[in-house]
Chain A
Amino acid sequence: MPENNRVFSIKGQKQGDITLFLFGRIGLENFDALLREIQGFFSEYNPSHLTVDLEKVDYLDSTGALFLVRLEDEAKTRSVPFTIANVSDEGKQIMSLIDRRALTAPSLAAKERALNLLEQLGNETINVLKDIYEVILFGGEILYEIAFSIRHPRKIRWNDVISYMKKVGVDGLPIVALISFLLGLIMAFMSALQLKQFGANIYVASLVAVAMVRELGPIITAIIVAGRSGSAFAAEIGTMRVNEEVDALITMGFNPTRFLTIPKLLAAMFVVPILTGFSSFFAILGGMVVGVLGLSLTIFTYVQQTMNAIEMFDVVSGLIKSVVFAAFIAAIGCQRGFKVRGGAEAVGNATTSAVVSAIFLIVVIDSTFAIILHYIE
């Protein structure tokens, strides 16, 4: 920027014929300063005629030209006659690029008005209801397709089922094992602090076993599967939607729900109970580490106490629960995938929504089971 930020000098009498000499670089870098200067200039000098001399200007870009246009407009609104002198050919061309109408053209779209609280509440309510409706509709479709698949088991794409079983089950085992082991460890440790006071160390084994097999095993496994695989299902189908692959399937006469959802659903329903079993197993192992190292129980007594604590009813109800969790996780993942409209961003939203909805459903289903099991028992 030139010294003193001044890029012009003024010649002439106040209220008289005034020439504005611009020099140096007239452009983006001093646009703001120039705009501010002309505000004061007109009120101070109040010229009867204004000439702008561009002879010494050695750089003019389109922002600089915009300044000249503004200067001219300002002069016009004050009905001051305006001329530009010594403008180069390049300068003329740049100025001709500036569309004066565009500078004052109103925006074609109003800036989005922020909704008030009541409108937001209403909008959200409608969205939630619509979502519930869509999920129920999709649920019905899946039930129909399952019935169809049971009647035509050869139409199921078993290769896909196997591949998804590997993705959901085998690949998910390490993280399920790790978290469950840690959970068992922590549970045993925390409860031991309390039970020690009554000399009831042995009940640490019962506590870990019953809690895991009945409740925590299925839930922890389901949450991990929702995060790992539910989101992956949504992303996979969502990407297929964006790439028009789903439309291609429909055009070729496939039923996309059957083609894409059923293998994932079956795979999840097969392997999640197995993962749940592993989850309980590793948690009990974690509890045993605390029991043996910290509470001086023997492995034999720990195992024996565990076996005594668990009933067949607990095991079976836990496994049934995990099958239902699996079905819902896979279904909601696919549904969120099918709902994708637009571009890559929508895929990201779908995966997030798949995980959140799946965890919500897990809690709802678990509560339902708690009530049902309470009456059966």
Chain B
Amino acid sequence: MSTQEAVIKVEGLTVQYGDNIVLDNVSFEVYRGEIFVIAGGSGCGKSTLLKHIIGLDIPKAGNIFINGINTTNIDDDEMAKLRRGIGMLFQGSALFGSMTIGENVSLPLTEFTELTREAMQLIVKMKLGMVELSGYENHFPSELSGGMKKRAGIARAMVMEPAMLFLDEPSAGLDPITSAEMDILIKKINSGIGTTMVIVTHELETIFNVSNRIIMLDKDTKGIIAEGDPRALKEHSRDPKIRNFFNRQPDRKKN
């Protein structure tokens, strides 16, 4: 599975908004071809971390390397080039409402390649087939359910054949069955194409179903409190915070 080659490397990342420190000195690595989950409770800075990795926000301190390139001090053109090798599924899918699903998926192709219309249509059909949305190319996003929108979002994220895929809460707001289907899809893409996946989630099901390795962030320490195989963490961790998270136990002191 993972050949231990780090494709993403985060070193001493510190994020601060005003006086409020969100992340303090966070370091970790993501290896090629693995499914890496960033977990933690609400408000612990999971999505913030993801935004910094893909360069939507600039950190206060620390370095982020993607494929060995430090993204904290490169210019916009280089970053744009780097981003084309990255796919991202946003929490609300972020499909363009004025375009059909087919147009949404083929948008990067029309912008960044010189493929003919036929070739593009073929690729769109292939990608939609891969996410099991075959035949929906002329629907508008508003005509799809939440789970279908997320799958269309994945198809769009994958159309440029990225080596890395970032998924922000892929199963949030989905019913258990749709959520399980999403997990299967994620695994299918990962094992089929070998795409490295970074997933932000707090859904225990997703964590146990798909992840090879997780890091857990915590609101109080503003950093990583656990790293490793989620099953081992659940079994062997002595940290009450980690045990509570995996066993869905509320913190008794707070109540």
Q: Which residues of B contact A104 (CB under 8 A)?
A: 125
Check A32–B119 contact: CB distance below 8 A: yes
A 229-287 contacts with B by CB, 8 A: none
Q: Bound complex: CA of A106 vs CA of B125, how far in Å?
A: 10
Check B160–A28 contact: CB distance below 8 A: yes
Is residue B34 within 8 Å, beta carbon to beta carbon, of the partner chain? Answer: no
Segment at the interface with A among B74-82, B129-137, B219-227: B129-137
Interface size class of A (residues with CB under 8 A): 20 to 34
Most buried by A among B115, B160, B192: B192
A95 and chain B: residue at smallest CB distance: B192
Contact status of A102 and B192, CB under 8 A, knowing A35-B119, A108-B139: no
Check A109–B138 contact: CB distance below 8 A: yes
Is residue B122 within 8 Å, beta carbon to beta carbon, of the partner chain? Answer: yes
Q: Bound complex: CA of A369 vs CA of B200, how far in Å?
A: 63
From B97, B123, B130, B134, contact of A97 by CB (8 A): B130
From A63, A93, A101, contact of B123 by CB (8 A): A63
Most buried by A among B116, B126, B128, B135: B126
Q: Which residues of B contact A108 (CB under 8 A)?
A: 135-136, 138-139
Check A103–B135 contact: CB distance below 8 A: no
Most buried by A among B97, B136, B161, B194: B161
Q: Which residues of B contact A228 (CB under 8 A)?
A: none
Check B126–A107 contact: CB distance below 8 A: no
Check A102–B129 contact: CB distance below 8 A: yes
Is residue B25 within 8 Å, beta carbon to beta carbon, of the partner chain? Answer: no
| Nearest-Cβ distance from residue B154 to partner chain A, whole angstroms | 12
| Nearest-Cβ distance from residue A68 to partner chain B, whole angstroms | 12
Q: Bound complex: CA of A99 vs CA of B122, how far in Å?
A: 12
Q: Which residues of B contact A97 (CB under 8 A)?
A: 130, 188-189, 192-193
Check B125–A105 contact: CB distance below 8 A: yes
Is residue B251 within 8 Å, beta carbon to beta carbon, of the partner chain? Answer: no
Q: Which residues of B contact A32 (CB under 8 A)?
A: 113-116, 119
Grouping DSSP codes into helix (H, G, I), strand (E, B) and loop, the A interface class, with mixed when no group exceeds half, is helix
Check B123–A31 contact: CB distance below 8 A: yes
Q: Which residues of B contact A106 (CB under 8 A)?
A: 135
Q: Mark A324-351, 1 if CB is under 8 A from B, else 0.
A: 0000000000000000001101000000
Is residue B178 within 8 Å, beta carbon to beta carbon, of the partner chain? Answer: no
Is residue A146 within 8 Å, beta carbon to beta carbon, of the partner chain? Answer: no
Contact status of A94 and B128, CB under 8 A, knowing A107-B135, A107-B138: no
Q: Which residues of A contact B116 (CB under 8 A)?
A: 32
Q: Which residues of A contact B130 (CB under 8 A)?
A: 62, 97-99, 102
Q: Bound complex: CA of A105 vs CA of B130, how far in Å?
A: 13
Check A102–B123 contact: CB distance below 8 A: no
Q: Bound complex: CA of A106 vs CA of B138, how far in Å?
A: 10
| Nearest-Cβ distance from residue A7 to partner chain B, whole angstroms | 16
Q: Bound complex: CA of A97 vs CA of B126, how far in Å?
A: 9
Q: Mark A74-100, 1 if CB is under 8 A from B, else 0.
A: 000000000000000010011011110
B 31-49 contacts with A by CB, 8 A: none
Is residue B142 within 8 Å, beta carbon to beta carbon, of the partner chain? Answer: yes
Check A28–B135 contact: CB distance below 8 A: no
Grouping DSSP codes into helix (H, G, I), strand (E, B) and loop, the B interface class, with mixed when no group exceeds half, is helix
Check B129–A98 contact: CB distance below 8 A: yes
Most buried by B among A93, A109, A110: A109
B102 and chain A: residue at smallest CB distance: A107
Q: Which residues of B contact A227 (CB under 8 A)?
A: none
Q: Which residues of B contact A61 (CB under 8 A)?
A: 161, 193
Q: Bound complex: CA of A98 vs CA of B161, how far in Å?
A: 14
Is residue B191 within 8 Å, beta carbon to beta carbon, of the partner chain? Answer: yes
Is residue A173 within 8 Å, beta carbon to beta carbon, of the partner chain? Answer: no
Is residue A219 within 8 Å, beta carbon to beta carbon, of the partner chain? Answer: no
Q: Which residues of A contact B194 (CB under 8 A)?
A: 90
Is residue A166 within 8 Å, beta carbon to beta carbon, of the partner chain? Answer: no
Check B126–A66 contact: CB distance below 8 A: yes
Check B119–A62 contact: CB distance below 8 A: no
From B113, B125, B189, B193, contact of A103 by CB (8 A): B125
Q: Bound complex: CA of A109 vs CA of B140, how far in Å?
A: 10
Q: Bound complex: CA of A63 vs CA of B122, how far in Å?
A: 9
Check B191–A93 contact: CB distance below 8 A: yes
B162 and chain A: residue at smallest CB distance: A61
B127 and chain A: residue at smallest CB distance: A62
Q: Bound complex: CA of A94 vs CA of B127, how far in Å?
A: 12
From A31, A96, A112, contact of B119 by CB (8 A): A31
Q: Which residues of B contact A107 (CB under 8 A)?
A: 135-138
| Nearest-Cβ distance from residue B181 to partner chain A, whole angstroms | 15
Is residue A111 within 8 Å, beta carbon to beta carbon, of the partner chain? Answer: yes
Check B126–A98 contact: CB distance below 8 A: yes
Which 9 pairs between the two chains have the least Cβ-Cβ distance? A102-B129, A99-B129, A102-B134, A108-B135, A97-B192, A61-B161, A109-B138, A105-B134, A107-B138
6 new A-B contacts, CB < 8 A, other than A99-B129, A107-B135, are A66-B122, A93-B191, A97-B130, A99-B132, A102-B129, A107-B138
Contacts from B to A (Cβ < 8 Å): 97, 113-116, 118-119, 122-123, 125-130, 132, 134-139, 142-143, 158, 160-161, 188-189, 191-194
Contacts from A to B (Cβ < 8 Å): 27-29, 31-32, 35, 61-63, 66, 70, 90, 93-94, 96-99, 101-112, 342-343, 345
25 A-B residue pairs with Cβ-Cβ distance under 8 Å, sorted by A, are A28-B113, A31-B115, A32-B119, A35-B118, A62-B130, A63-B123, A63-B126, A93-B192, A93-B193, A94-B193, A96-B192, A97-B189, A99-B129, A99-B130, A99-B134, A101-B134, A102-B128, A102-B130, A102-B135, A105-B129, A105-B134, A107-B135, A107-B136, A107-B137, A109-B138
